Amino acid sequence: FIFIERLTPAAYHHPVHMKLDDLIPFCEWFIFPYMSWHVSLLWMSLYTLAYDIPAFQRFMWYLILTTVLAEIVYVVWPSQQLLRPDLASLGRSNLLTKLCGVIYTVDTNTNVCPSLHCIGGFAILFAALDMPRFRTKGWTVFFVIFALLICASTVFMKQHSIVDFFAAIPVILIGWVCVYLPPLVKRKNA
């Protein structure tokens, strides 16, 4: 990802935007689900590695496949979103807006379509549902809401256009069909 970021000249990035983006307000509170994505990917990796090696392997294959697909899109069609607000002129300044500013500095707004945050949010959901321990109604609801909050955080923090979420859906589905559908069918037929 970093190599592609450095390799692609800024002039080649295509702006990503739709009118719905203008209706979604900036909300710094979404920094919590946005940042939890990083921790959750690490946690799910370690958890599956410790307790369910086949689930770990499927989780890794899903991440590899979907990330490679997204990176191919970034090479073929480099993207950029221009939605970030001027945090200095928001009319409010607090710890969360300052943290958003740090994120804006560290995490570029290029190669955003499809959204790796959305893809990763669903990776966590699928890995959880792949393990018997998390297939209860309560855990399922928790992980579905968590994945959706991660997706929502990308647009409310203005890191992504809603287009990036819609573009992530086919990648998410391809990953699920290739990695998680075969064992699901096998379990149901067993």
d(CA 75, CA 132): 38
pLDDT, tens digit, 9 for 90 and up, residues 35-88: 999 999 999 999 999 999 999 999 999 999 999 999 999 988 888 878 888 888
Element of type H or E holding 80: strand 79-80
d(CA 60, CA 52): 12
- Return the pLDDT at 8: 66
d(CA 121, CA 186): 25
User: What does the pLDDT average to over 179-188?
Assistant: 85
Could you tell me if 109 and 16 are in contact, meaning their C-beta atoms sit under 8 angstroms apart? no
d(CA 70, CA 40): 20
